[in-house]
Structure 1
Amino acid sequence: MLKQIINGRILTPEGWLEGGSVIIDGNKIKAVSNSDLHIVDAEIIDAKGCYVVPGGIEMHVHGGGGRDFMEGSEEAFRVAIKAHMKHGTTAIFPTLSSSTVPMIEAACETCEKLMAEENSPVLGLHLEGPYFNPKQAGAQIPEWIKPPVAEEYEPLLDKYPCIKRWDEAPELPGSAEFIKSCRKHGVVAAIGHTRATYEDVVAGHDAGMSHATHFYNAMPVVYKEHEFKVPGTVESIYALSDMSVEVIADGIHVPPVMLRVVYQIKGVEKTALITDSLACAASDEGVAFDPRV
């Protein structure tokens, strides 16, 4: 059955559309029209002046509704995904913080099961670690952080096509081989939790690293070494025009003036907005999977 959303302010790639409508056929958007004339036999939905915007693609999210994707269970995945879908997310890449191989395997099994369902919002799995610089651990569990281990990541990449992105620090030994393996399997390699120098960033980029995890967070900016200024990871990523970034745009993780700089340098096409939400998002639960939270 057709549905027609009218009386809303519609966001399109060309800007805001006033007085138009969105026509939906089943679970697909059939058209965005500049006319709000009622379509015969369509169910009319009055937006009452509210915004009508595309659904969010959540590409960095650890959980919600009181559950964490690190749990690996189908129940945890479904609860967390449902919590985000209630608030405008329509496609999601569940994210695991630095985890053990058995934890990654459990999450992969669950993710592949959900991805196989009809009209699934799950588009793949995002692994944030464990191949990070321990000096930039941030909220990661430090005991599980280490350099890339080919005997670990190769079997995982070979077995689980659900892995779509893997974050890593390019200054670590074995990094180039890890990045190339990710690219060979069609996995996005992203830089994160790092103290990479300009040379490290360029080496990672040349190996196939194309994205920056929660840009500005868990990575250094320009610093002084004796009388010389040294570009940090942030400036190095800015210098590579084809490298995309993601930011937690809450004005706290990245202050407004820095968000403006990201927009001016990277632009819309190379910038993604993320929540990086934990299990406590959209939840009144008082406990989390990670007992430190």
Structure 2
Amino acid sequence: ISKDIVQTNNSIYKSNQEKYGFKPPQILANFTKVQQKKEVEEAKQYRELTNQPIVFQPSDLQWRTIEKIIFSRKERTCSICFGTFGAEKQLITGCRHTFHQSCYVQFLKQNPRSKNQCVICKQHSMIIESPNLQKFHYKLSIIYIQSFFRMHLCVNQRRSLKIIKSGEFSNKLNLVTDQHKVFQDHINDEMQQHIYQYQQECDEGNKIFDEFCKLKDQKAYDVIVKARKRQHNMCLICYDDIEPGFLSWSSEENTKYVVVSCCGSMFHRECLDAACVERTFCVYCKSGYFRVNCEIQ
């Protein structure tokens, strides 16, 4: 039976070749590298074409129906930032989701490949701006604000009327005034105590200051006596001779000579000021000191 089928097929092929001029197909080798690369590239192109997402593009009537469905849901928050819509620009998708335009722009900056893609359901669909939805949410926010204020005012009015009628308001006022008087008396007593303590501290400070001034004068006189007994008559910083004469204490500040309290050495004021920049101790005996202004008569 198989031989008969092959013979009939060959006869039909020969008859068609004689009638229509058919030629037998040329057999090519499919194992070359160049052709294999071409086949792989064609397969990739085919896959890219077939894997492209089909974007849903609704008509104007379908957009209006989507807006009506969103109106009926009364969504007040954005699905990206979870903030209220308010008067900001809003976008709607073919899959019936809404979000702020600014939020979607930031989402595209972070994910540039997800263009024409819903943020929530990851479905490829058209995204347009909806001014009707923006107006709706703007009016809705105004209504909610008005209702909140009305409710708040009504509740406060009812509470105030109840308090006034029951007499609690006058009792609370009396309590507040009594507490205020007690608090004010307490503050006045504390203020008087602080003022009295401050006056005592000032008096003690003045006494200590007077005693210190007396001690300073006595110590200054002792320093002058010590300086008169010194054995050298020169400034130990610049090594210049000091004018001979009687050394005495001076109440002036900018005197030419200064005596040190530690060892009784005598210096030019300018020399000692320059030396104090580098060190805080005496140049001669290397100890602490205080200055005594003096003059030579």
After TM superposition, is the score higher than 0.5?
A: no
Q: What's the TM-score once normalised by structure 1's chain length?
A: 0.16
Q: Which has the higher strand share?
A: 1
Larger Rg: 2
